[in-house]
Amino acid sequence: MAKHAASAPPLLAHLLPALLIAVAAVGCRPLPPVVEAVARIDITYSATSAGSTQEHFVVQQQGGGFVVEEWTRDGTAERLIGPPVSLPVERVQALDDALAAPSSDHAAVARLLLQRMDIEALRESGLHAEPPAGCSAQAWTMAVEEQMAPEALQQIALARTADTLWMHDNQVEIVVQVQRRGVGMETWSTQSQQAFVQPWTKGPPLALPGMDMPTTQAPYWSVALTDALQGVVPEQSDLHARLGLWMTPLWMQVDVVERAAARCLEAAGEERAVGIAVARRVGR
């Protein structure tokens, strides 16, 4: 009896090999076919704001998954920062999906920017700003509220997602190169200084440092690409911060104040002109 009690039940002994195989398979699930074809992704970022920033991220397969390495450039040599970090397959899949998706459009990108902005904070910053000389407090409030109308905000957001170079001391270049097995290299790039580094370009950067992007270059509008790229690079990197809203909330506060000031002074001028005209008629 003792010998029989110590042995495994016949049914469990029969199922044990199959259970072990199933448990092992859970940790060795194959990669999705599209992602499995991605052999390597190189992401380079350089910027001249607040000093020089040069970062290089390498995503490649390792141990049935993906890892990302972070490199920085010291002079002419690159230096690895820490060991490779495991990267969820879902993030590589999101980047791959974004690269394959069709271009959005400028207006849609501007609307998405407004959705992610704190509009109430934008309004409060405008209302608490110093009105220009000749603009009353009541007129200033009205001018700021005009800039908070949906149409006015959309115009500001359109300007803040355009690719026009406007700060020569803040040059930016981001290049994404995807190496696929049996396909070759695909390159995406942007030199935009605006929100979400929009728009992107299918291909290498064409503009020289300090020059606007060529007007013949077809823009590729995709916040999904920017978001997916942000999910791939380490959170502590400069590129991760740049791919977010970055300084756009501050810049849009300046936009609201400048536009409100112009409108307030314009209204004050119109009011003075009407007053002068009325005075002349009364004086006749």
- Helix-strand-coil percent breakdown of the chain, rounded to 5? 45, 20, 35
Q: Give the separation between CA 230 and CA 67, rounded to whole angstroms.
A: 15
Q: What does the mean pLDDT of the chain come to?
A: 82
Q: What is the pLDDT along the chain (284 residues), one digit of tens a residue?
A: 444 444 445 544 554 444 443 433 344 456 666 678 899 999 999 987 656 778 999 999 998 899 999 998 766 778 888 899 999 999 999 999 999 999 999 999 999 999 999 999 999 999 999 999 989 999 999 999 999 999 999 999 999 998 665 555 668 899 999 999 888 899 999 988 889 999 999 998 875 555 555 555 688 999 999 999 999 999 999 999 999 998 999 999 999 999 999 999 998 775 554 343 333 344 44
Helix (H, G, I), strand (E, B) or coil at 218: coil
Closest listed residue to residue 49, CA positions, set 167, 207, 189: 167
Instruction: Name the pTM for this structure.
Output: 0.78
Please report the DSSP string for 218-281 in residue order.
PPB--HHHHHHHHHHS-TTSHHHHHTSSTTHHHHHHHHHHHHHHHHHHHHHHHHHHHHHHHHHH
In sequence order, what are the residues at sequence separation of 6 or more whose Cβ sits closer than 8 angstroms to the Cβ of residue 1?
none
pLDDT digits (tens, 9 = 90+) for 164-185: 655 556 688 999 999 998 888 9
